[in-house]
C-alpha cells in the first residue's frame, strides 16, 4: 500500500508511462477529459501552483514601474468615467438597478487604490433578492 501511495503521489513527476497511467485515471475518468493533457500543460500547471506567486512578485519588482502604475490607474479611471456616463444616460435602467450598478462601479479599483492594498476596505454590494 505504501508503494502505491508513493507512486500515486509522484506519478506526475515520473517518466511518461507513469504520467499516462495517472492521467488515464484521474484526468480522463475522474475529471472527464477527452484527451490527456500535454506535457507543456502539466509543466505550466506545476510552475503556476508551485512558484507562480514568487515569479509574479519578482516580475512586478522588475517590470511594474511608477510610469506603468500611473498608466494603469489612468486607464481604470477612464473606464470608470465611461461606465458612469453610460449608466447615467441609460434610460432602460430602473432606479434600483442604477443604484446597484453605481455601487458596483465604485468598487472597481485602480492600482493605486487603497482597496487594493487594504483588504478591509471592501464595498457592500446591494443585490436585490433574485437578481445578480
Q: What pLDDT score was predicted for residue 98?
A: 87
Contact 110, 77 (CB under 8 A): yes
Q: What pLDDT score was predicted for residue 42?
A: 80
Nearest-5° angle of CA 20, CA 25, CA 28? 90
Q: What pLDDT score was predicted for residue 50?
A: 85
Q: What pLDDT score was predicted for residue 111?
A: 59
| Interval 55-75: pLDDT, tens | 888 888 888 888 888 888 888
**pTM of the predicted model as reported, rounded to 2 decimal places:** 0.44
- E strand segments, the chain: none
pLDDT at 96 over 70: yes
DSSP letter assigned to residue 29: I
Q: What pLDDT score was predicted for residue 46?
A: 83
Q: Which three cell numbers stand for residue 104?
A: 458596483
Q: What pLDDT score was predicted for residue 58?
A: 85
Q: What pLDDT score was predicted for residue 114?
A: 56
CA distance 75 to 69: 10
Contact 27, 36 (CB under 8 A): yes
Amino acid at each position: 500500500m505504501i508503494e502505491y501511495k508513493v507512486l500515486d503521489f509522484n506519478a506526475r513527476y515520473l517518466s511518461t508511462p507513469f504520467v499516462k497511467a495517472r492521467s488515464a485515471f484521474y484526468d480522463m475518468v475522474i475529471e472527464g477529459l477527452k484527451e490527456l493533457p500535454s506535457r507543456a500543460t502539466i509543466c505550466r500547471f506545476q510552475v503556476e501552483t508551485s512558484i507562480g506567486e514568487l515569479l509574479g512578485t519578482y516580475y512586478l519588482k522588475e517590470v511594474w514601474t511608477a510610469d506603468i502604475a500611473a498608466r494603469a490607474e489612468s486607464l481604470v479611471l477612464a473606464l470608470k468615467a465611461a461606465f458612469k456616463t453610460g449608466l447615467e444616460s441609460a434610460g432602460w435602467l430602473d432606479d434600483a438597478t442604477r443604484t446597484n450598478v453605481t455601487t458596483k462601479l465604485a468598487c472597481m479599483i485602480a492600482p493605486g487604490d487603497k482597496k487594493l492594498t487594504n483588504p478591509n476596505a471592501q464595498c457592500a454590494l446591494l443585490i436585490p433578492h433574485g437578481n445578480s
